[in-house]
């Protein structure tokens, strides 16, 4: 880049930290970042940012951020060059593969993979090259239930409807707190402003949450719910819609199978039957159903609090069943399917192979595979349990499972027992301290960005491309992942990463020319590749996908169609308009219809009924249930090393209702001991009426007091790790997702132990 090194310049960049995709206006002098603000001209975020966006500067400059690969010898680390690092990876990993087979090597992919192009494009090929059953990711502590529900309903686990926030008249939101999280599986920069707009145009926002969250405070109505019981509330809404003849799927009746079975499935879950388990009065449930049916348009949206629970898949399914039977699925103002500019155009006829899971099972607990992975709740079992196929080596890529997955103290010990571990990560943290080799990628502003994953979950169809703004010596993350792919694929540490880049590009071109409905259908793949401009490999893939996508230039087929060059000419993004109906063309079920009553769903309803019986029989449980929460100034486990975000009041506190605190003898600021079936923590109490009696809340991602990390700031604000308390035995069996909300615990005054 030819720039005057002393002149200030503005550059625009899409924030990759969360799902909101805010446009940033960044002032630089040479490679120095001077200021970061919201980009007022961004077509989607229009100037909105949160406090984290500006800290990309601090992240960039963090002296603890790793810039060189490192190899560990016992407790000491040595900085090495890249060739030595990859040679060490090969030396450590391949003898394990040779002696014990491919399943002896596991992989864990963490959340930031979906926030950068390298992870989004290269993670799957890496897993494929390894050919191990032991692939894990943060998805099974997050949204896997939604994938399963949508996979069964629509035939494609990635075809997930989002609430059409900007046009809806009625939003029922369960277990989400977008005022803090800025939205998830619903990309909507300035979520707060969009909620307010619903109210300003006369609509209504209802929030269901065991806490009176910031979002609940802004809503028109807030309902407390007993953790883990949304599924009953949702089933009772469906029950009422049928019972009161309010079900009106409209034209969808012709495109859906199983409506009558659904009516049968919910029959025993009347509002009256579930009122006591949910804590929501029957009359209120009936009113919600009536309001949903009567609203001109309405959308039901559930997130973390409905996913990371024992009936995550059934809750996710019920959300979209309500959207469908109230006639709100796939229509403006309801729950709609985005069609990202880089996705493939739909073929002319709906239908496909459908969604298959359980193609293999985990060795120890026999848990089914879902979307090519196993539940991370069973990773420690696979490492600890001797026998054929025992996991002896691990690759973590952008993940911190020691803080983010259940029973983390046990996983921590399991990682310490591995023969070999490699981490692709910019920090030496609670997880990567167990690695033998750490490979650090460059930070966000030194790489290009195109929001590959979240444009698929976006409330408008939007595209924006950000070129890298500053240079940093080091290896691009796509090269790191490509070299790991070559190593595990048996081609060796010296093989050229360009081989992987070329292969991925060729595969993308081949798919484009062979997909029905594609603007380049029938053309030669090589012809397209020759026409692509010279760019970094990730960007070439995006260019190819954009050009062959639903808005693309089709390599000459459509004048003014999209290409990456077009996006470069529009640094504030291009707005492709509000969401448009996608059904039935997008359906990939074998029947070509929405399959409402898939066998796994029907079977799981029996478990739901049994759990209701257990509740009424007064089955033994602990006096409190634990839920999580997020804070605007925090981002899962990994941004606590940024002083401006963590300073001030301690945020890692236990929220407790005053009526619960008094009999326990706990006052604000006291240290409480919280114990579950697997662990205990001591944490300061914050007394608040904004939580239901009987429920306590602790945020996750904390617990930075482990030895051997290099997190100077985080170490001064350690907090405690909520996942010391979560039990890996508790999962949603259909999706394998861990139960992180609704964890039974006891709470008491922490007593000083005299040693
Ligand atoms: N109790 C409880 N536990 C939870 C949750 C909860 O609500 N309650 N939420 C769950 C959810 S939704 C999620 S998504 C998971 C997250 O779980 P993880 O993905 O395991 O953890 P993160 O905290 O996101 O850690 C990300 C890691 O990636 C590194 N990193 C950051 N940027 C990059 C990059 O560009 N490249 C690479 N290679 N590495 C990078 C960071 O240094 C850090 O080590 O936690 C889950 N855990
Ligand atoms: N600032 C910030 N933003 C983030 C993140 C972050 O760590 N910090 N993480 C990002 C990630 S990885 C994700 S997945 C998203 C998540 O985004 P959200 O889904 O909005 O997640 P949370 O903010 O944890 O909100 C979950 C809410 O569910 C409530 N809840 C708990 N149990 C139940 C229950 O059983 N029923 C109901 N109805 N509610 C319940 C909690 O009290 C909480 O208010 O946020 C993303 N954005
Ligand atoms: S809301 Fe998310 S995308 Fe927007 S500035 Fe904050 S962290 Fe970045
Ligand atoms: Mo997440």
Which atom of ligand 2 is least distant from the CA of 303? 19
Q: Which ligand is nearest to the Cα of residue 637, counting in written order?
A: 1
Three-state DSSP at 191 gives helix
Distance 46 CA to ligand 3 centre (A): 13
Give the model's confidence band at 248: pLDDT under 50 very low, under 70 low, under 90 confident, else very high: confident
pLDDT (tens digit per residue) in 149-164: 999 999 999 999 999 9
Q: Which of 354, 375, 352, 355 is nearest to 363 (CA)?
A: 375
Q: Is 226 in the pocket of ligand 3 (CB under 6 A)?
A: no
User: Which residues have beta carbons under 5 A from ligand 4 (an ion)?
Assistant: 142
Please tell me the predicted confidence (pLDDT) of residue 3: 55
User: pLDDT tens across 650-660, in order?
Assistant: 999 999 999 99
Cα of 142 to ligand 1 centre, how many Å?
10
- pLDDT (average), residues 538-562: 96
Q: Whose Cα sits closest to atom 6 in ligand 3?
A: 50
* CATH number belonging to domain 621-749: 2.40.40.20
Band (pLDDT 50/70/90 cuts) for residue 753 is: low
| Lowest-confidence region among 24-33, 598-607, 617-626 | 617-626
- Residue 454: nearest ligand to its CA? 3
Average pLDDT over residues 633-662: 97
Query: Residue 253 has what pLDDT?
Result: 81
Predicted local distance difference test score (pLDDT) of residue 126: 98
Q: Contact, 665 vs 197, CB < 8 A?
A: no
Name the residue of 14, 15, 47, 184 to mutate for ligand 3: max ligand atoms within 8 A of Cβ. Answer: 15
619 confidence band (pLDDT: 50, 70, 90)? confident
**453-466, pLDDT tens digit by residue?**
999 999 999 999 99
Closest atom of ligand 3 relative to the 21 alpha carbon: 3
Ligand 1 atom with the smallest distance to the CA of 726 is 1
| Per-residue model confidence (pLDDT) at position 301 | 98
Residue 62 has pLDDT above 90, yes or no: yes
Task: For a ligand 2 pocket test, name from 143, 147, 184 the mutation site with the most ligand atoms within 8 angstroms of its C-beta.
Answer: 184
So what's the pLDDT on residue 216? 98
H helices then E strands: how many in the chain? Answer: 25, 30
Centre of ligand 3 from the C-alpha of residue 330, in Å: 27
Q: What is the pLDDT of residues 119-159, one digit of tens each?
A: 999 999 999 999 999 999 999 999 999 999 999 999 999 99
**What distance in angstroms lies between residue 427's CA and the mean position of ligand 1's atoms?**
12
Question: pLDDT of 360-395, one tens digit each?
Answer: 999 999 999 999 999 999 999 999 999 999 999 999
Give me Rg for the CA atoms of the chain. Answer: 25
CA angle 61, 64, 68 (to 5 degrees): 90
* Closest-approaching ligand to the CA atom of 404: 1
Quick one: pLDDT at residue 2? Answer: 54
**β-strands 460-463, 170-174 pairing:** unpaired
Tell me, in angstroms, the distance from the centre of ligand 3 to residue 41's CA: 16
**Mean pLDDT taken over the chain:** 96
Burial (Cβ within 10 Å: 0-12, 13-18, ≥19) of residue 332: middle
Residues paired with residue 225 on neighbouring β-strands, in sequence order: none
pLDDT for res 465: 98
Residue 340's nearest CA partner among 460, 516, 506, 448 is: 460
- Reply yes or no on whether the pLDDT at 4 is more than 80: no
> What CATH number does the domain located at 164-342+583-603 have?
3.40.228.10
User: Could you report the per-residue pLDDT of 702-712, keeping only the tens digit for each?
Assistant: 999 999 999 99
Q: Which two tokens stand for residue 290?
A: 């009536």
Whether the full predicted model's pTM is greater than 0.85, yes or no, is: yes
Model pLDDT, residue 249:
84
Where in the chain are the domains?
1-61, 81-140+360-439, 164-342+583-603, 497-572, 621-749
Whether the pLDDT of residue 755 is over 70: the answer is no
β-pairing, 737-738 with 731-732? Answer: antiparallel
Class of domain 1-61: alpha beta
Indicate whether residue 449 lines ligand 3 (CB < 6 A).
no
- Ligand 4 geometric centre to CA of 140 (Å): 10
- Looking at residue 618, its pLDDT comes to 86
Q: Does domain 81-140+360-439 have CATH number 3.40.50.740?
A: yes
- Per-residue pLDDT for 279 more than 90? yes
For 248-252, 415-419, 570-574, 642-646, which range has the lowest pLDDT when averaged over its residues?
248-252
Rounded mean pLDDT of 515-539?
Answer: 93
Identify the pLDDT of residue 5. 72
Report the share of the chain in percent with pLDDT over 70.
99
Give yes or no for a contact between 439 and 424, defined as CB atoms under 8 angstroms apart.
Answer: yes
Stretch 631-655: mean pLDDT, rounded? 97
Share of the chain above pLDDT 90, in %: 95
Tell me whether residue 30 is exposed, middle or buried, using C-beta atoms within 10 angstroms of its C-beta: 0 to 12, 13 to 18, 19 or more: middle
Residues in contact with ligand 1 by the CB-under-6-Å rule are 110-112, 116, 138, 141-142, 304, 308, 397-401, 404, 424-427, 429, 441, 477, 628, 636-638, 700-701, 722-723, 726, 740
Residue 6 clears pLDDT 90, i.e. is over it: no
Q: What is the pLDDT of residues 587-604, one digit of tens each?
A: 999 999 999 999 999 999
* Three-state SS annotation for 536-557: CHHHHHHHHHHHHCCCECHHHC
pLDDT tens per residue, range 312-346: 999 999 999 999 999 999 999 999 999 999 999 88
């Amino acid at each position: 880049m030819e720039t005057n090194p002393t002149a200030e310049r503005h550059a625009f960049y899409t924030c990759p930290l969360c799902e909101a995709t805010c446009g940033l206006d960044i002032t630089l002098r040479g490679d120095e970042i001077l200021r970061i603000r919201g980009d007022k001209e961004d077509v989607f975020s229009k100037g909105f940012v949160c406090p984290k966006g500006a800290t990309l500067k601090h992240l960039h400059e963090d002296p603890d951020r790793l810039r060189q690969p490192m190899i560990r010898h016992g407790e000491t680390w040595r900085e090495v060059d890249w060739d030595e690092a990859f040679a060490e990876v090969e030396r450590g990993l391949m003898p394990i593969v040779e002696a014990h087979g491919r399943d002896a090597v596991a992989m864990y992919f963490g959340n930031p993979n979906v926030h950068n192009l390298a992870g989004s494009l290269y993670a799957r090929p890496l897993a494929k090259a390894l050919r191990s059953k032991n692939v894990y990711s943060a998805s099974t502590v997050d949204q896997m239930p939604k994938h399963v529900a949508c996979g069964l309903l629509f035939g494609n686990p990635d075809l997930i409807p989002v609430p059409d926030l900007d046009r809806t008249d009625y939003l029922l939101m369960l277990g989400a707190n977008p005022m803090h999280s800025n939205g998830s599986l619903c990309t909507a920069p300035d979520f707060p402003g969009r909620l307010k707009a619903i109210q300003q145009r006369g609509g209504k926002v209802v929030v269901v949450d065991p806490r009176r969250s910031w979002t609940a405070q802004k809503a028109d109505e807030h309902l407390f719910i007993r953790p883990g019981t949304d599924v009953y509330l949702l089933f009772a809404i469906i029950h009422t819609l049928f019972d009161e003849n309010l079900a009106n799927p409209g034209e969808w009746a012709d495109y859906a199978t199983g409506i009558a079975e659904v009516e049968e499935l919910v029959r025993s879950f009347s509002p009256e039957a579930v009122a006591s388990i949910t804590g929501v009065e029957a009359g209120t449930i009936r009113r919600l159903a009536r309001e949903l049916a009567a609203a001109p348009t309405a959308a039901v949206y559930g997130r973390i609090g409905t996913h990371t629970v024992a009936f995550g898949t059934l809750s996710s399914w019920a959300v979209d069943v309500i959207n469908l039977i109230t006639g709100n699925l796939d229509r403006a103002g309801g729950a709609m399917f985005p069609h990202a500019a880089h996705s493939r155009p739909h073929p002319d006829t709906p239908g496909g192979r459908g969604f298959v899971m359980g193609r293999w099972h985990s060795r120890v607990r026999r848990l089914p595979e879902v979307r090519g992975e196993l539940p991370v709740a069973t990773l420690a079992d696979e490492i600890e349990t001797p026998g054929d196929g025992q996991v002896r080596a691990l690759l973590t890529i952008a993940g911190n499972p020691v803080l983010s997955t259940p029973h983390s103290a046990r996983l921590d010990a399991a990682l310490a027992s591995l023969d070999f571990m490699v981490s692709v990560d910019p920090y030496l943290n609670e997880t990567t301290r167990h690695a033998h080799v750490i490979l650090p990628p460059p930070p966000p502003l030194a790489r290009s960005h195109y929001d590959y994953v979240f444009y698929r979950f976006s409330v408008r169809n939007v595209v924006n491309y950000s070129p890298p703004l500053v240079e940093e010596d080091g290896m691009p993350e796509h090269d790191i992942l490509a070299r790991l792919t070559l190593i595990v694929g048996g081609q060796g540490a010296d093989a050229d990463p360009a081989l992987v880049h070329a292969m991925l590009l060729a595969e993308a071109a081949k798919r484009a020319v062979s997909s029905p409905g594609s603007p380049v259908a029938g053309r030669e793949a090589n012809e397209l590749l020759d026409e692509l401009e010279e760019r970094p490999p990730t960007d070439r893939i995006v260019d190819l996908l954009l050009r062959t996508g639903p808005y693309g230039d089709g390599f000459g087929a459509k004048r003014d169609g999209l290409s990456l060059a077009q996006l470069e000419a529009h640094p504030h993004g291009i707005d492709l308009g509000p969401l448009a109906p996608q059904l039935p063309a997008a359906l990939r079920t074998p029947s070509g219809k929405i399959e409402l009553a898939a066998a796994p769903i029907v079977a799981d309803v029996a478990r739901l009924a049994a759990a209701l019986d257990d509740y009424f029989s007064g089955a033994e449980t602990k006096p409190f249930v634990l839920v999580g929460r997020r804070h605007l100034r925090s981002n899962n486990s990994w941004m606590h090393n940024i002083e401006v975000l963590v300073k001030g009041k301690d945020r890692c506190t236990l929220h407790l209702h005053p009526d619960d605190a008094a009999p326990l003898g706990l006052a604000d600021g006291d240290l409480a001991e919280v114990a579950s079936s697997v662990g205990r923590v001591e944490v300061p109490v914050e007394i608040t009426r904004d939580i239901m009696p009987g429920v306590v809340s602790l945020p996750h991602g904390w617990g930075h007091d482990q030895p051997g990390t290099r997190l100077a700031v985080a170490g001064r604000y350690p907090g405690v790790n909520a996942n010391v308390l979560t039990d890996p035995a508790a999962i949603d069996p259909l999706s394998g997702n861990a139960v992180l909300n609704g964890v039974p615990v006891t709470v008491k005054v922490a007593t000083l132990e005299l040693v």
